[in-house]
């Protein structure tokens, strides 16, 4: 069957979304295997992912896009919506890496799962869309689950000894940034996805590099740890999963993609447990179950409303 015919199948977008969501699930495992601190991971992940995405846009701009398309991409990128999206990507990239380095992976990923709720709330404030009562109910249930996760966070086995509260705040901050990013792309669909995300990721890497450039000793930290592991994350997992998930939103509803993204919150801690022995406490697992179940029901309600 020709590829053009495949793209017309209703299941094509679902397939892409599932592939992208599954591809990103081992990301945090390779972050752990890198044995790097927050700033060093920020440098490698940001510069590698940013370079890949911006290079992909540049190749398309040189060989596929028209001059009008290139100009339109740059105009949208430097619009208020585009710059806000880039700023959200920078902020979310920094808080995610810092949170992973600070505490248990499960706390970050369960908190990150709340991004669809933040997207709905930002849509209400910025786009004047009505926020459903189900959104507030799900947010309350999710915060309860995150609270249980934090409460049991200090009992996690093999996790960093940082603050679980700071970790949860980093996870929620990342979720909020991701939600704001979704809203900006939705408010102005012409924002170039590859270029905006590439610039945001690359800028995050530059911020990490600036922090480390205070001394030669700090810069030497860049080459300590497992460079292969962090490169698997920055050069393979992040760009490939991003491209699949981005393409999926063009062939299926965003709610479907959000539902698949819950796989990272479920499978991410499992990969880390199998690969490093880091294991969340029973209370954290209960809290995570509440978060995932609440969000799964919420997204299913959104899908039913769309169908009706």
Domain boundaries, the chain: 11-307
What 3 state SS string does 216-236 have? HHHHHHHHCCCHHHHHHHHHH
DSSP 8: T
CB 110 within 8 A of CB 265: yes
Q: Are 145 and 294 in contact (CB under 8 A)?
A: yes
- The string over 12-23, giving b where at least 16 C-beta atoms fall within 10 Å of a residue's C-beta and e elsewhere, is bbbebbbbbbeb
Mean of pLDDT over the chain: 87
Region 173-178: what's the mean pLDDT? 92
Condensed to tens digits (0 to 9), the pLDDT of residues 231-259 reads 999 999 998 888 887 777 667 666 667 77
Cβ atoms < 10 Å from Cβ of 176: 22
Q: Which residues are 157's β-sheet partners?
A: 279
The least confident of 125-134, 187-196, 285-294 is: 125-134
pLDDT at res. 158: 85
Tell me which of 288 and 27 has the higher pLDDT.
Answer: 27
What is the value of pTM for the model shown? 0.89
Q: What is the pLDDT of residues 46-56, one digit of tens each?
A: 999 999 999 99
């Amino acid at each position: 069957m020709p590829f053009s015919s495949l793209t017309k199948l209703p299941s094509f977008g679902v397939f892409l979304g599932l592939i992208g969501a599954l591809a990103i699930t081992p990301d945090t495992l390779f972050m752990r295997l890198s044995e790097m601190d927050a700033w060093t991971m920020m440098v490698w992940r940001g510069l590698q992912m940013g370079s890949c995405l911006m290079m992909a846009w540049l190749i398309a701009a040189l060989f596929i896009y028209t001059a009008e398309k290139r100009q339109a991409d740059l105009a949208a990128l430097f619009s208020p919506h585009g710059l806000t999206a880039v700023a959200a990507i920078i902020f979310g990239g920094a808080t995610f890496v810092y949170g992973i380095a600070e505490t248990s992976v499960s706390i970050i990923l369960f908190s990150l799962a709340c991004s669809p709720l933040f997207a709905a709330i930002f849509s209400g404030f910025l786009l004047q869309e009505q926020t459903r009562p189900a959104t507030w109910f799900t947010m309350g249930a999710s915060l309860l689950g995150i609270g249980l996760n934090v409460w049991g966070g200090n009992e996690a086995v093999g996790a960093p000894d940082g603050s679980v509260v700071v970790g949860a705040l980093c996870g929620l901050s990342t979720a909020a940034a991701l939600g704001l990013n979704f809203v900006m792309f939705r408010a102005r669909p012409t924002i170039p996805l590859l270029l905006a995300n590439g610039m945001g990721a690359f800028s995050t890497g530059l911020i990490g590099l600036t922090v480390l450039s205070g001394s030669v000793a700090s810069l030497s930290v860049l080459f300590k740890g497992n460079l292969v592991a962090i490169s698997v994350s920055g050069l393979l997992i992040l760009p490939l999963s991003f491209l699949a998930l981005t393409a999926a939103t063009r062939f299926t509803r965003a709610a479907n993609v959000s539902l698949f993204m819950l796989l990272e919150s479920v499978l991410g801690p499992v990969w880390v447990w199998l690969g490093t022995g880091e294991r969340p406490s029973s209370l954290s697992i209960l809290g995570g179950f509440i978060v995932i179940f609440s969000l799964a029901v919420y997204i299913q309600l959104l899908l039913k409303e769309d169908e009706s």
